[in-house]
């Protein structure tokens, strides 16, 4: 049994990241969790996350692994009868985790650094067919990628550093 203490400021912080206050309307019908794509494999329970935030238990969520298990299928947003939108709450928690520099999966950090470097989140790859032939954009006669001009990097960095 945990006797955690709620953090009212952190709760307000999450609420301020959302476009509305509907998360407080959640009445725990658990429809979101019943249909959650990530429940069976990763035990993600959107209704629980919304309730925890609403009660102020934000800190433990922000530093948890569970908030990174959401597949972003958006079923919970679509079907919630109170428009509490667990997906947006989870995104807000992720943003908070990043702000606090607590554990963020490698994949995301890599994506951001790639964007900074080249403008794209993915690295250019070759395609290997089943016959072991190798192809790339050039050999497929696809136009060169128009990477963003120099000013982009500074602009992106500026926005990333905004409070």
- Total site size for other proteins, rule CB under 8 A: 79
Stretch touching other proteins by CB under 8 A, among 2-10, 52-60, 139-147: 139-147
Length of the chain as a residue count: 163
Q: Is 4 in the site for other proteins (CB under 8 A)?
A: no
Rg, the chain, Cα only: 20
- Residue 111 CB, nearest distance to other proteins (Å)? 4
Using an 8 Å Cβ cutoff, are 15 and 58 in contact? no
**Long-range contacts of the stretch 98-105 (C-beta < 8 A, 24+):** 100/62, 100/63, 102/62, 102/63, 103/63, 103/65, 104/68, 105/68
Interaction of residue 13 with other proteins, rule CB under 8 A:
no
Find the binding residues for other proteins in span 32-91 (CB under 8 A).
32-42, 45, 47, 68-75, 77-79, 81-83, 85, 91
Cβ atoms of 67 and 97 within 8 Å: the answer is: yes
Q: Does 17 bind other proteins (CB under 8 A)?
A: yes
Nearer to other proteins, 9 or 138 (CB): 138
Q: Per-residue x/- mask for other proteins, residues 113 to 132, rule CB under 8 A? A: --x---xxxxxxx-x-xx--
Enclosing H/E stretch for 148: none
């Amino acid at each position: 049994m945990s006797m955690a203490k709620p953090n009212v400021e952190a709760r307000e912080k999450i609420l301020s990241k959302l476009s509305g206050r509907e998360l407080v309307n959640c009445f725990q019908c658990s429809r979101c969790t019943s249909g959650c794509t990530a429940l069976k494999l990763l035990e993600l329970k959107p209704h629980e996350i919304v309730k925890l935030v609403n009660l102020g238990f934000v800190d433990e969520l922000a530093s948890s692994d569970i908030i990174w298990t959401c597949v972003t299928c958006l079923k919970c947003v679509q079907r919630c009868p109170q428009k509490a939108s667990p997906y947006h709450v989870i995104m807000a928690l992720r943003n908070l985790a990043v702000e606090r520099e607590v554990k963020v999966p490698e994949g995301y950090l890599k994506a951001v650094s790639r964007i900074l470097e080249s403008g794209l989140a993915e690295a250019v790859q070759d395609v290997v067919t089943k016959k072991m032939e190798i192809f790339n954009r050039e050999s497929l006669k696809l136009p060169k990628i128009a990477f963003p001009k120099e000013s982009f990097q500074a602009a992106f960095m500026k926005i990333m550093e905004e409070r």
